[in-house]
Structure 1
């Protein structure tokens, strides 16, 4: 533990930028910042009675979905949306339930609405971009999926970052080569003959 804190002080911003480029090569240069600062703080909507009730219904919907009662969860999310139609979160959660129920088109509509209502900012937008990217990837729209994953990663989505890297064959090869070199260095083997150094 003591060693980790010592190392943290020795790492320069340039070192962090280099490491970000290695581990997140598909993200636009300059858009990657410290993890602590990455999640933009977006103010919650004003907590009205409608929002409180919508959140209560949303929690009930999530609980139903976790039990496998997708149709019941859709009912709760629909009620939450009726009560607070400008609240982004229930759209995001209903999209997940719609997708699980086989309604991909309805899920995409709700994800688009969640992104619109959240102004593409904050946790709900991050989740919606990630969900939309997964659907787009399943449909074979990798370019659009990468755009959504980049937006989610820029909002602090660690899962989105991992998916971006996995979709980049050059990054996967680089990570594999780096892992091999690190393994050899740890075991005391020479790395000269492996990569022509």
Structure 2
């Protein structure tokens, strides 16, 4: 279904008005404001990536630690840290969407070098984490994710989409972002086949 000329004109008007407002505030304050589309992508796609990719990796790490598979835990920790840092990078230069594990995807785009170094060091420290040290390491990984989530600016914690009630809250969150993302010309959070009418 294509947008009508009226809807397209309205979207352009909103985008123009937003750009003008940003320019006015920048001129008045002398400080650049964040890109509105970037902010949308950061908050919406960042939340989705955190809920789906990061939390899945955290569960993998918990399972590997419980099974005494420290090498697997570290490999999964690297994936967790990369995904978490890629969420932070969405705020400035990170890629909004990617399919699978594309070689061209840079999880560190837009992330300060010191954050990258600290994150990779945290993942590597899992090699020596045994017993109580393993739980301390796990808590530090959880803290890394909490820090990333806090940057998204939501008023309450994001839902656990792997629980029955959390899944519905996750869908509600995705649907609430659907129109603003579409209006800004950004990819949606849900696959198009999920939102397209059958008739």
Q: What range is the shorter-chain TM-score in?
A: under 0.3
TM-score normalised by structure 1 residue count: 0.23
TM-score normalised by structure 2 residue count: 0.23
- The structure with the greater share of residues assigned to helix is 1
